[in-house]
Structure 1
Amino acid sequence: MSGAAGGGVRRFEHVGVIVDDLEAVTAFFADLGFEVAAPMRIEDEWVERILGLEGVRLEMVMVNAPDGSGKLELTKFHHPVDPATDSADAQAPAVNRLGFRHIAYIVGNLDSTIERIRAKGLDTIGEIVNYENIFRMCYVRGPEGLIVELAEESN
């Protein structure tokens, strides 16, 4: 039985990304070409019930891939805050750490995209490589250690 026929997953909706500097992370994704929705403040009992946390106060911004293929929910918790945010290790996770580690996007022009992020003081993690004449690609470390794979399709 397929997932949809059995009442399971029907489509991808979004990935939640918890951040400390919502403005910087939102600007990073805007520079990559994401469409940015209006920020929201959430402080309500329903979110506390969903999250299993008390006293929740958060800000959230949805950023959408321009082709509508998916969204990121960027969330800044004002309360309660993650105690691990004081750890330098939490700010720069290794590319091989277990768990969800990066997201990948196709870009129209890899060189101009990299120029824009370098102008903001960010850079690639390793090199820009040609993968079997299918993609030119690289990993970029954004604000707060977020890792994004960028790929330009080869003609």
Structure 2
Amino acid sequence: MAITLENVGIAVRDLEAAISFFTDLGLTVVGRDTVSGEWTETAVGLDGNHAHIAMLQTPDGGGRLELFEYVHPEAIETEPTLPHEIGMHRVAFSVDDLDEALEVAARHGCRPLRGVANYRDVYRLTYLRGPSGILVMLAEELRKD
């Protein structure tokens, strides 16, 4: 059986703010829609499911994020995930310039949780809180062969 990762879905409180954050980091919007009706209730398992969605893609085409903002039922605010909690954890991106990526994130009010780390002189990396409290890892490879 062949398998391919299609996308990672993330519920957000403000779709436009999330799109702005991720497109400023370099992703591209490849589709937008509003979904509702029986098919989406069946697929998602949620009565009255109605959401605005956007599909974003990395420049290499290999990674996709589906962002969705619920119209109905009303979105439930939760505490942001902590790095050591079980469950959906974070979304990670490789960047060619971590400092530039952090400048972009800062324009959206997003800063590293603690700082930038050096992993064995292979990567500089950090975790930050993106829009809607999304945990985002940014990593720059140091050994570029």
Ranges in structure 1 where 5+ consecutive residues have no aligned partner: none
Q: What is the DSSP-based 3-state SS (H/G/I as helix, E as strand, rest coil) of the residue aligned with 2:114?
A: coil
What's the RMSD between the two structures over aligned residues? Answer: 1.4
Query: 1:35, 1:65 within 8 Å by CA — same for their partners in 2?
Result: yes
Tell me the TM-score normalized by structure 2: 0.91
| AA at the equivalent of 2:38 | E
Contact kept in structure 1, 2:28 and 2:57, CA below 8 Å: yes
Normalised to the residue count of structure 1, the TM-score between the two structures is: 0.86
Structure 1 residue ranges (4+ consecutive) displaced by more than 6 angstroms after TM superposition: none
Aligned partner of 1:149 among 125, 137, 143: 137
- Distance in 1 separating the partners of 2:69 and 2:108: 21
State the alpha-carbon separation in 1 of the partners of residues 70 and 141 from structure 2.
Answer: 37
Q: Mind listing any 5+ residue stretches in structure 2 that lack a counterpart?
A: none
Q: What are the residue-to-residue correspondences of 1:26-105 with 2, within 5 Å? A: 26-82=19-75, 84-85=76-77, 90-105=78-93
1:91·1:144 contact (CA, 8 Å) conserved in 2? no
Counterpart of 2:14 (choices 2, 21, 38) is: 21
Percent of paired sites with the same residue? 35
Query: Displacement, 1:54?
Result: 2.1
Give the distance between the partners of 2:103 and 2:9, measured in 1 at CA. Answer: 27
Larger radius of gyration: 1
1:91 shift after superposition: 4.2
Residue of structure 2 in register with 1:140 after alignment:
128
Q: Deviations over 1:4-42 (max 9, x none)?
A: 2xxxx5211111111111111111111211111232011
Aligned residues of 1:34 and 1:63 also touching (Cα < 8 A): yes
| Length, aligned pairs only | 143
CA distance in 1 between counterparts of 2:48 and 2:107 reads: 39
- AA partner of residue 103 (structure 1): V
User: How far apart are residue 128 of structure 1 and its match?
Assistant: 0.5
Q: Give the structure 2 partner of residue 107 of structure 1.
A: 95
Structure 1 counterpart of 2:21, one-letter code:
F
